[in-house]
Amino acid sequence: MAHISEYVSWRGDLSFADRDFRIEDNLVFSELVYYDFKPVFRGRSSIALKEAVTELDRCGLLKSTRAGSTAEDLNLARICASSRRFGDIVLTDFNDIYDSSDRQFAAVTFLIEGGTRVIAFRGTDSTIIGWKEDFMISYTNVPSQYLALDYAKKHVDESNDDIYILGHSKGAHLALFAAAHLSKEQQEKIKRIYINDGPGFCNGVLDKSLIDEIKDKITKITPEYSIIGRLFEPEVGENIIVRSSSKAIMQHSIQSWLLNDGNGLVECADHAPESNILNDAIERFVEGMNLGARERFVDSLFDSMSDTGATTIKEFAALGPSAFEDLIMKMAGNDALNIKGKARKVRRKDDENLNIFLRAWGYISRQKVIRIGLSLFLAALCFAFPDFAMESVVYAALLILCIYELVLTVRHLKESEWNFRKERPRVIMFIALLVIMSMILVKDGALFVFSSTILGVFFLSLAYQNLINYKIYKRKLFERFRYAFEGIVTLFLGGYILVVPDIENSWYMLSCGSLLLIDAIFEVLKLIRDRKR
């Protein structure tokens, strides 16, 4: 598997005459439009890619405007410029507009040998106005949409050959908007429209039926963990879910998308469950606000950021925690969010469900003496009853969890007037939990295997947390020694338990007891040190 930079290296020796336009090329062009070509277009109307990159590199001006870009992103431009496939491609009519009237727009047209045109729209850059315009599509038309339409009309009318329209993120949205609003005659000239993880149209703002006229020409590509590309998601002719080498929201970057060694993208059947859950939450949040409320929310958020004097997200972040604190305080009073009403509702549910446990644990964590006493008590249990303590604790935890889920499920069903269809996910989860518990109890040795697996994962999680703590306390010798020692012990225990499952039950509990005792000793030493200070 590879990324687009490897694709250019492997297939870059083949011109478009030797190998026709592929879906991978769409990804490359969607990335190239992020580079700032303004310096080389002064006094020019067009320039070959290899000349543009060489000149920018020589002057130290080669840079990517994509939000979150790094120095490594520059290598893609250099690889493309040195390749036969992309190096001789001509860039023409480069547009880059950024002003205080909520406009952030950039586009360029690539002229390929043989007459093919690729109209590429840039996605969101790192400017606050660019991000604001992204949010504005949830309640209104934005200036860049009409700039994109005018730009597309110009180049479609000038060409009699194949035309591709494409973009990434907001650039994908602009490509979709422009293509959907072209005339019938203009749309007939379009070979393909590529929408790379970009949002669609908001209900009540744009006529989605316009997309139906061109949906057979649209290829929509989203990563496995897609958030931005599933906002107001349109129905299209071809929908591809691509695997990524990055995690979570970082999969939005095209340069993390995986390609087969030969051709095409590495596809997967569905989006990640976490992505589905988060998208559902965002959809509910957006639908709970009318268009006016969305506008007030967006204006308040980004105007507050601009008031600090920052023009980019990076500049705002550099202002430090105080800027974020001020922003949160301003947003808390925004009537679009209805923070107070929602907070009261959440607070009531917390009190009914888990808040009592959270408060108890918080109290224990703050009271060091209680925590030390609890650690010593649990260690004593592990040493006193090593043969059955682990399985008993896990069984009790499963039983409490089942009872808790039963109470929640019945309560939600009652509130929904026993609408099983509405509460189907919760009911299914409760049934699955019951089935798992039944299997563990009925099958010989299952409870032991399940308990030991949980214990192994728990130790590895502690090892990871100890590593984080070790990195945090850079100048505190005691804390670094403690977390280094506990990290090594928990890593060894967790790995050994998972790799060598055939261990006596008592060994597990003696290990837990020893770890709890060590942790209690460290807490005692820390308490003595802090009291002396």
Instruction: Specify the CATH number for the domain of residue 143.
Output: 3.40.50
* 252 and 139 together in one domain: yes
Q: How confident is the model at residue 331 (pLDDT cuts 50, 70, 90)?
A: low
Measured CA to CA, the distance from residue 428 to residue 465 in angstroms comes to: 32
pLDDT at 402: 79
- Among candidates 86, 64, 76, 112, which has minimal Cα distance to 2? 76
pLDDT (tens digit per residue) in 61-72: 998 888 667 777
Measured CA to CA, the distance from residue 443 to residue 441 in angstroms comes to: 6
Question: How crowded is residue 29: how many other Cβ atoms within 10 Å of its Cβ?
Answer: 24
First to last CA, the chain: 57
Q: Which domain holds residue 78?
A: 4-281
Measured CA to CA, the distance from residue 257 to residue 245 in angstroms comes to: 6
- Among candidates 293, 274, 35, 276, which has minimal Cα distance to 140? 293
| Number of domains the chain is built from | 3
Instruction: List, in order, residues 6 or more apart from 255 with CB less than 8 Å away.
Output: 3, 4, 5, 31, 73, 76
Q: How far is CA 30 from the centre of its chain?
A: 19
* 229 and 366 together in one domain: no
Measured CA to CA, the distance from residue 217 to residue 240 in angstroms comes to: 14
How deeply is 529 buried, as exposed, middle or buried, from its count of CB atoms within 10 A (0-12, 13-18, 19+)?
Answer: exposed
Of 190-194, 234-238, 263-267, 463-467, the range with the lowest mean pLDDT is 463-467
- Among candidates 182, 154, 148, which has minimal Cα distance to 166? 148
CA-CA-CA-CA torsion sign (374, 377, 382, 385): negative
What mean pLDDT comes out for the span 459-479?
Answer: 77
Residue 445 has pLDDT above 50, yes or no: yes
Question: How crowded is residue 334: how many other Cβ atoms within 10 Å of its Cβ?
Answer: 16
Residue 342 lies in a domain: no
Residue 347 lies in a domain: no
Q: What is the CA radius of gyration of the chain?
A: 29
b/e map of 362-389 (b: 16 or more CB within 10 Å)?
A: eeeeeeeeebbeebbebbebbbeebeeb
pLDDT (tens digit per residue) in 360-407: 444 444 456 666 777 777 777 777 766 655 666 677 777 787 787 788
Residue 345 has pLDDT above 60, yes or no: no
Phi first, then psi, for residue 27 (nearest 5°) are -65, -40
Residue 501 lies in a domain: yes
Measured CA to CA, the distance from residue 195 to residue 236 in angstroms comes to: 10
What mean pLDDT comes out for the span 432-439?
Answer: 76
Residue 346 lies in a domain: no
What mean pLDDT comes out for the span 314-337?
Answer: 61
**Final residue in a domain of this structure, among 254, 281, 308:** 281
- Among candidates 260, 265, 253, 266, which has minimal Cα distance to 10? 260
- Residues β-bridged to residue 120: 108, 166
E strands within 132-175? 163-168
What mean pLDDT comes out for the span 344-350?
Answer: 45
Both tokens of residue 438? 């039944």
The Cα-based distances of 305 to 68, 103, 128, 146 in angstroms read 18, 16, 8, 26
- Residues β-bridged to residue 47: 91
pLDDT (tens digit per residue) in 115-147: 999 999 998 766 667 666 666 776 677 888 999
pLDDT at 319: 72
The Cα-based distances of 309 to 239, 274, 313, 316, 415 in angstroms read 41, 36, 11, 8, 48
- Among candidates 473, 487, 471, which has minimal Cα distance to 519? 487
Query: Pick the residue with more confidence: 250 or 78?
Result: 78
Measured CA to CA, the distance from residue 504 to residue 225 in angstroms comes to: 41
Amino acid at 404: Y
- For residue 240, the surrounding DSSP H or E stretch is strand 238-242
* 332 and 373 together in one domain: no
* 100 and 249 together in one domain: yes
* 248 and 319 together in one domain: no
Residue 89 lies in a domain: yes
pLDDT (tens digit per residue) in 181-225: 999 999 999 999 999 998 888 766 677 788 888 999 999 999 998
pLDDT at 356: 45
* 321 and 187 together in one domain: no
Highest mean pLDDT pick, 101-115, 130-144, 501-515:
101-115
Residue 307 has pLDDT above 50, yes or no: yes
**Final residue in a domain of this structure, among 264, 281, 298:** 281
* 272 and 294 together in one domain: no
* 471 and 332 together in one domain: no
CA-CA-CA-CA torsion sign (210, 211, 212, 214): positive
What mean pLDDT comes out for the span 510-515?
Answer: 76
Amino acid at 262: G
- Among candidates 174, 172, 175, which has minimal Cα distance to 163? 175
* 366 and 511 together in one domain: yes
Question: How crowded is residue 289: how many other Cβ atoms within 10 Å of its Cβ?
Answer: 17
E strands within 71-173? 90-99, 103-111, 117-121, 163-168
DSSP string, 315-359: HHHHT-HHHHHHHHHHHHT-TTTTHHHHHHHHHHHHHHTTHHHHH
Per the prediction, the chain carries an average pLDDT of: 78
**Final residue in a domain of this structure, among 260, 281, 302:** 281
Measured CA to CA, the distance from residue 515 to residue 509 in angstroms comes to: 10
Residue 351 has pLDDT above 60, yes or no: no
Report DSSP state, residue 35.
Answer: B
* 318 and 364 together in one domain: no
Residue 176 lies in a domain: yes
* 413 and 526 together in one domain: yes
Residue 23 near residue 40, CB atoms below 8 Å: no
pLDDT at 362: 47
* 265 and 382 together in one domain: no
Residue 298 lies in a domain: yes
Measured CA to CA, the distance from residue 104 to residue 95 in angstroms comes to: 10
Residue 348 lies in a domain: no
Measured CA to CA, the distance from residue 462 to residue 455 in angstroms comes to: 11
Residue 24 near residue 264, CB atoms below 8 Å: yes
Classify strands 90-99 and 46-48 as parallel, antiparallel or unpaired: antiparallel
Both tokens of residue 178? 């422009």
pLDDT at 378: 72
